[in-house]
Amino acid sequence: MLEPGAVIGILGGGQLGRMLSVAASRLGFRAHIYEPGINPPAGDVAHRVTTAPYEDLAALRAFAASVDVITYEFENVPTAALDALEALRPIRPNRRALAISQERIAEKEFLTGLGLTCAPFAPVGSLADLQTALARIGAPAILKTARLGYDGKGQARIMAAADTVEAWETMQGAPSVLEGFIAFSHEVSVIAARGLDGSVACYDPGENVHQGGILRTTTVPARLSASQRSDAVLIAARILNALDYVGVLGVELFVTPQGLIVNEIAPRVHNSGHWTQQGCAVDQFEQHIRAVAGWTLGDGSRFADVVMENLIGDDIARVPALARERAVSLHLYGKGEARAGRKMGHANRVVRGIT
Ligand code: ATP
Ligand code: MG
């Protein structure tokens, strides 16, 4: 169990790294951010920032030597960088969790291997593969790059066989996966945590609405029956245990009449868990820091109904109006330019307190 004053190393300095840094400092720790880009959002609040690329092994080693434990806010850290870091300090969540969530095919094989249901899928490495896969899976389907997708980027929808050539061109030759289209009624996610001692704490599932491939809102409680709610939590716990996971994990699920289908997992705090900042005594950021620091997990029970709304691009202009609303808590990321599609902040609206 890390003592106050210990240093939490965080790979990535975006908004998740920023909110993790705040949580770390609230617990008496210091956050050291490693981020290739200049002026990262986390830099405003972290104790220390290293600005260097993930290829700079000397910078990585110096960073590792200066921290007590290493965690991350995004999953696409190169393997060689992780090797250099892991030789010096523990990385939590572990390498296997990271490797699995970096690659959609490995992820789906892992999930289905646990007996969980995913969309039907097939690896695709060429146009011919795509045509064979589509013949098996059927249209509509979605082609996704196996690596490096986020916010719906690196995806192409295939409505009919005639769309295959264009869809394959969108992938620019990258190894991909074809997924059958799931006619879900809605999307939910479970944010769950596992401690060093193996204990698990799950937050109540949130219901997610996407727009243009980007998360728009998360609402708690989600529309789920009591048994779907337990299923969602059991799915998350099963994944955490199988990975011997330490930290917070996000599990995205499609709700269908046939049951819950796992879309993907994220080995980190998750945008759809931001509501916990106003809905729980211990939010996902504190929970993650507690876990990676070897502390006892906090209580994740929900005491309010909350709607989290992402402020994307020009939405930032709504801040003065949102700031006048009594039940709204604002979380802004300190990003300069409000480009289209850029997450600038989020607003948590407490709809109803639960007594
Ligand atoms: P993010 O970073 O936002 O999680 P991502 O780029 O990793 O996104 P996915 O989560 O795989 O991509 O897909 C984004 C969204 O596209 C999903 O939340 C869902 O709305 C839709 N989608 C993805 N796969 C399927 C599918 N097989 N069937 C139906 N809809 C899908
Ligand atoms: Mg997703």
The SS3 of residue 90 is coil
- Residue-averaged pLDDT of the chain: 96
Please, which residues bridge with residue 225 across strands?
A: none
Q: Whose CA is nearest to atom 7 of ligand 1?
A: 150
Model confidence pLDDT, tens digit, residues 73-86: 988 899 899 999 99
The rounded Å distance from CA 213 to ligand 1 centre is: 7
- The atom number, within ligand 1, closest to the CA of 181 reads 28
For residues 93 and 280, what is the distance between their CA atoms, to the nearest angstrom?
22
CATH code at 120-180 = 3.30.1490.20
Say yes or no: do domains 120-180 and 186-353 share a fold: no
Ligand 1 environment, Cβ below 6 A? 119, 142, 144, 149-153, 179, 181-182, 187, 210, 213, 215, 252, 263-264
Q: How sure is the predictor about 149, in pLDDT bands with cuts at 50, 70 and 90?
A: confident
Name the residue ranges covered by the structural domains of the chain.
7-91, 120-180, 186-353
- The atom number, within ligand 1, closest to the CA of 149 reads 6
The rounded Å distance from CA 45 to ligand 1 centre is: 31
The rounded Å distance from CA 231 to ligand 2 centre is: 19
Q: Which ligand is nearest to the CA of 155?
A: 1
- The atom number, within ligand 1, closest to the CA of 153 reads 6
For residues 204 and 247, what is the distance between their CA atoms, to the nearest angstrom?
17
Model confidence pLDDT, tens digit, residues 157-210: 999 999 999 999 999 999 999 999 999 999 999 999 999 999 999 999 999 999
Model confidence pLDDT, tens digit, residues 272-312: 999 999 999 999 999 999 999 999 999 999 999 999 999 99
The rounded Å distance from CA 47 to ligand 2 centre is: 31
The rounded Å distance from CA 88 to ligand 1 centre is: 36
Please, which residues bridge with residue 308 across strands?
A: 218, 348
- The amino acid present at 149, given as its one-letter code, is G
Q: In 150-282, at which residue ranges do the beta strands (DSSP E only) sit?
A: 155-158, 176-180, 186-194, 200-202, 206-211, 214-220, 247-256, 259-266
Q: Does domain 7-91 have CATH number 3.40.50.20?
A: yes
Q: Which of 107, 218, 263 to mutate to test the pocket of ligand 1 (most atoms within 8 A of CB)?
A: 263
Q: What is the pLDDT of residue 154?
A: 84
Q: Whose CA is nearest to atom 12 of ligand 1?
A: 152
User: Model pTM greater than 0.85?
Assistant: yes
The rounded Å distance from CA 327 to ligand 2 centre is: 28
CATH architecture of 186-353: 2-Layer Sandwich (3.30)
Q: What is the pLDDT of residue 354?
A: 76
Q: Which ligand is nearest to the CA of 183?
A: 1
Nearest to 310 by CA among 241, 214, 226: 214
C-alpha distance from residue 92 to each of 98, 104, 134, 226 (Å): 9, 21, 38, 32
